[in-house]
Structure 1
Amino acid sequence: MEMKEVWEARKRIASFVKKTPLIESPVLSESLGRPVYLKLENTHDIGAFKIRGAANKILSLSEEERRRGVTTYSTGNHGMAVAFIAQKLGIEAVICISNRVPKAKVESLKRLGAQIEVVGESQDAAGVRCFELEKESGYTVIEPFDDPCVIAGQATIGLELLEDIPNLADVLVPLSGGGLLSGIGLTLKTNSPEIRITGVSMQGSAAMHASLKAGKPMEMEESETLADSLLGGIGLNNRYTFRMVGEFMDQMVLISEDEIGYAMVYMMDKQRIIMEGAAATGIAAILGKRIPHQDGALVVIITGQNVDISILLQLMKNYPVE
């Protein structure tokens, strides 16, 4: 992939995707002794960054492909992004999800008018059904991460960071299939190779971490986690993100469930920001002093806010913040 594709993506998605806010976090800056900024990707129409990649891919389709409709498999946010763009363009969309997708995300999918198929206990199982639909009905599959158009869409976040922070030194990126980190990594490392990129994920079922450790894409059984958006495999036939994450990521941090839960409550209490568990992994890495100090600004990508309120209420009881 080349930067030309990222600039093309920015132009293509401009009517659907607006630049997201970048705000400083005084409490986190004080904690680290350096400027800490939050890139609020949770402020998109669907409450998550996935709209960038989905918009770029769907808008790149031919009229014939749009007429036949689209399908995807998702842990929730990518499905919402595909459903949202499809609804705006009047395209038929079928979203395949597993039984693990939280109720809040399922309800959002229904509101967006997408056809939903619930299949199995993992994103991989939903993916199998998605490709069956492609063969049966001629739908175009909108990959959740391992697609150049999707990666280029997510990479537009990197362009915004470079515009807004001249002294950018660190970026913390929640990591699952790797589309987000691949895109941001491509943009930042191409322009400023010295910027350090840290992938953050939950301790259980971190498929990309296991794959990188093994030196090849690996399958993993999904387990219960607050960071449900980070569940799912990377695909045994992964073509792009496995290589790109390996190339662009400088370090990886795995976060416990207690750390994720506390970080979610901490940001609600200290900065009045609701974030889902996946987005809170970067905050947890900061609170746990897991990022080696270096001069310059640090940015945390706040990937989404789609979390059940009942979960937040329970976390507030379990993790009181002083």
Structure 2
Amino acid sequence: MVTIEDVKKAQRNIRGTAERTPLIFSESLSEKTGAEIYLKLDTLQPTGSFKIRGAANAVARLSEEERKNGVVTASTGNFGRALSYAGKQAGVPVTVCLSRLVPQNKVEAVRELGATVEICGNTQDEAMARAAGLVETQQMKIISPFDDADVIAGQGTIGLEILEDLPETDMAVIALSGGGLIAGIALALRHEKPDIGVTGVSTRQCPAMYESLKAGHPVDVPEHESVADSLGGGIGLENRYSFAMVRDLVGAENIVLLAEDEIKNGMCALHEAENIVAEGGGAVGVAALLAGKIKSEDIQGKKIVCHISGGNVAEDVFAKIVAA
């Protein structure tokens, strides 16, 4: 189980590797939605996404033997980049398994940080199976991008920062894939404000956590290509942490799903309103509000924080979306 004390320890562990990112008010998005919209900008992290928080905490918590043997993960790109960065700073060898769905710009970003990269399979789950194999053959420690206690605690530092900057926050709108991000944030937020609203946003292309919550247990779902590529992949049938935490702290009734055009609209709106370059997964919070996915009475006049989780989108892809 992950506790609030774990999150507070993580806040200390990640200093010097991850940044404390700003929370800004968006007048333009507030006018469009009728709410007071604030944006938590983890696009400004050294590796371009929030993932550095969990990766830095996980690396900080390694034993000496684990540091020597190295670590392995499977990633849709952003966690692989973050773990490579944190590992390089700490002198820890990193291997990253990526599926063929991962965009080339994210593959190259991982390689540039000195990690060993393996391209394997057509889905995130297949890449994770390869990572598990390396644990058996090379005694590496596997670090899940979302279902790891140290990673979840690291992501929870976002929640601490939100309430430090805006204690009167009424709701946080958070991207949802494997659940590590929203689990950590919800833990931190609800410890201080038990009644705070927390909404998760997934893509219809791979709503693994949503379907698992509806089923009452982790299930596999088909994974399809999405502009929100960072939200791909399953939650693991042997899920240890994130499923139960999202079930207990968020619930299926507080998860919304977006179509591809709705996600692109969120990317465009962020760029137009605040000149922010957000990848698809980073824009889903704003996209959900603009698409009317959250009840009007739940947001009107309320202070709503949208977590902008990442900005690692290829320039040509982003240019095509905002020009459409």
Q: What TM-score, normalized by structure 1, do the two folds share?
A: 0.96
- Stretches of structure 1 lacking an aligned partner (at least 5 in a row): none
| 1:191 to 2:197 alignment | no
- Stretches of structure 2 lacking an aligned partner (at least 5 in a row): none
Hey, what's the Cα distance between the residues in 2 that align with 1:166 and 1:160? Answer: 10
Q: Once the 2 structures are TM-superposed, how far is the Cα of residue 94 of structure 1 from its aligned partner?
A: 0.6
Hey, what's the Cα distance between the residues in 2 that align with 1:184 and 1:316? Answer: 30
| 1:268 to 2:271 alignment | yes
Q: Sequence identity of aligned pairs in percent?
A: 44
Number of the residue aligned with 2:61: 60
Q: Tell me, yes or no, if the aligned pair for 1:58 and 1:142 is still in contact at 8 Å.
A: no
Q: Deviations over 1:289-315 (max 9, x none)?
A: 222234431000000000111111221
Hey, what's the Cα distance between the residues in 1 that align with 2:35 and 2:86? Answer: 38
Hey, what's the Cα distance between the residues in 2 that align with 1:18 and 1:204? Answer: 31
Q: Which amino acid aligns with 1:258?
A: D
Q: Once the 2 structures are TM-superposed, how far is the Cα of residue 107 of structure 1 from its aligned partner?
A: 1.3
Number of the residue aligned with 1:156: 157
Alignment of 1:77-92 (within 5 A): 77-92=78-93
Which one is further off, 272-281 or 28-37?
A: 28-37
Q: Tell me, yes or no, if the aligned pair for 1:97 and 1:119 is still in contact at 8 Å.
A: yes
Q: Once the 2 structures are TM-superposed, how far is the Cα of residue 58 of structure 1 from its aligned partner?
A: 1.0
Q: Which amino acid aligns with 1:257?
A: E
Number of the residue aligned with 2:321: 315
Hey, what's the Cα distance between the residues in 2 that align with 1:209 and 1:8? Answer: 30
Hey, what's the Cα distance between the residues in 2 that align with 1:58 and 1:80? Answer: 13
RMSD: 1.1
Q: Once the 2 structures are TM-superposed, how far is the Cα of residue 57 of structure 1 from its aligned partner?
A: 0.8
Alignment of 1:1-322 (within 5 A): 1-249=2-250, 251-292=254-295, 293-294=297-298, 295-318=301-324
Q: Secondary structure at the match of 2:283?
A: helix
Q: Once the 2 structures are TM-superposed, how far is the Cα of residue 32 of structure 1 from its aligned partner?
A: 2.2
Q: Deviations over 1:209-266 (max 9, x none)?
A: 1111111101112101001000000000001111110111151111110011121122
Q: Tell me, yes or no, if the aligned pair for 1:174 and 1:199 is still in contact at 8 Å.
A: yes
Hey, what's the Cα distance between the residues in 2 that align with 1:153 and 1:313? Answer: 32
Hey, what's the Cα distance between the residues in 2 that align with 1:316 and 1:275? Answer: 11
Hey, what's the Cα distance between the residues in 1 that align with 2:288 and 2:31? Answer: 15
Q: Deviations over 1:181-220 (max 9, x none)?
A: 1001111111101110000011121100111111110111
Q: Tell me, yes or no, if the aligned pair for 1:28 and 1:286 is still in contact at 8 Å.
A: no
Hey, what's the Cα distance between the residues in 2 that align with 1:268 and 1:221? Answer: 31
Q: Secondary structure at the match of 1:95?
A: strand
Q: Which amino acid aligns with 1:142?
A: I
Q: Which amino acid aligns with 2:117?
A: I
Q: Which amino acid aligns with 1:313?
A: A
Q: Once the 2 structures are TM-superposed, how far is the Cα of residue 55 of structure 1 from its aligned partner?
A: 0.7
Q: Tell me, yes or no, if the aligned pair for 1:84 and 1:112 is still in contact at 8 Å.
A: yes
Q: Deviations over 1:26-73 (max 9, x none)?
A: 111112223110000110000000001111111101111101111100
Change (3 A) 1:297 1:98: same
Q: Secondary structure at the match of 1:218?
A: coil
